Chains A and B, each alone.
Chain A
């Protein structure tokens, strides 16, 4: 159906994208393997931390009776463990590589982006905190951690007397396309 010339040309076109994707994936996994110093774990504040931009990377640690998030840039956020109402641990599939990966996937020709999309996904632990501020206002914060780190943090919080709920299935496993509906 396709001449060897066409196949060769297609492969030559895809080669730079495959190389770029490979380097992005290796960069991402490299970051994940950085050992956490002490009890601090690498985390990404997805949403809800006041004064910190969404998706800010940093270190999450427990010091005494306080949960501390130290972003790479900016001021430290402290959440007293006593103010935590609930902590939920869950897992979800997410595209790795960030915006650069998404752009690469989009501009790759001949459906190559779909192939990249198939492999450029990784499971992450999500830690959802619900707490009250000093004024009684309800806050929700979502942290994204590398796979397995959420359990470590959850266990540490449990030893401090915080209620931690572990959810078995991740969002992606909840029968995709099967609609939950309240009538």
Chain B
């Protein structure tokens, strides 16, 4: 009798231990994955306002944002401003970038003096719903102080924006963002 009970008890214990973990882990992973990947983002053109900024900086910020946001894999899709595919994305956020301040630097000055000639950029980033509701708003900076060309500041800025968005808590995917 004892001999018969032991294997049965062991089998039941093993089943209790293995089956839930085998079932729930992939399911949970799927749920988390779908939550993270359900939002799409459309990156709007950079609004320079009245600032006297070189056009290559505006374009470089925009293009670097597209690259850096795609790298984070936080969004299911990263769309360009005006992309007609945006209409087909059910959960879409819009990233608006407004330039707040810009300090033009000099690569030659940086090379010679090290301490001066930094290029500095500061933007206000807003993540909005298509209806215009602001989900997230941050002021973010990007600089180049020592190595690299002036356009390196735009890369650093875009990377900082992507990091901020990655750390931010986006609204639940199955509840309305409103």
Task: Mark contacts of A128-147 with chain B using CB atoms, 8 A cut-off: 1 yes-contact digit, 0 otherwise.
Answer: 10101101111111100000
Report the minimum CB–CB distance from A139 to chain B (whole Å): 7
B104 part of interface (Cβ distance < 8 Å): yes
Flag the segment in B6-14, B31-39, B95-103 that touches A.
B95-103
Which residues in window 109-165 of B have CB below 8 A to A? 109, 111-114, 116-117, 120, 147, 149-151
Question: Closest residue to B57 on the A side, CB-wise?
Answer: A171
Q: List 30 A-B contacts (CB under 8 A).
A: A47-B63, A48-B63, A86-B55, A92-B150, A94-B149, A95-B107, A113-B111, A114-B114, A118-B108, A118-B111, A118-B112, A121-B108, A121-B111, A133-B80, A135-B83, A137-B82, A137-B83, A138-B62, A138-B80, A140-B60, A142-B151, A165-B55, A171-B57, A171-B150, A172-B104, A172-B106, A174-B52, A176-B105, A180-B51, A182-B51
| C-alpha spacing A114/B101, complex, angstroms | 29
- B83 contacts which of A130, A136, A176 (Cβ < 8 Å)? A136
- Count, chain B residues at interface, CB 8 A: 45
**Given the contacts A105-B111, A176-B105, A47 and B54 also touching, CB distance less than 8 Å:** no
Q: Residues of A with Cβ closer than 8 Å to B?
A: 46-48, 86, 88, 90, 92-95, 102, 105, 113-114, 117-118, 120-121, 126, 128, 130, 132-133, 135-142, 165, 167, 170-172, 174-182
Interface-central residue, A136, A139, A171, A177, by most chain B CB under 10 Å: A171
Contacts A130-B59, A177-B116: A95 and B149 contacting too (C-beta < 8 A)?
Answer: yes
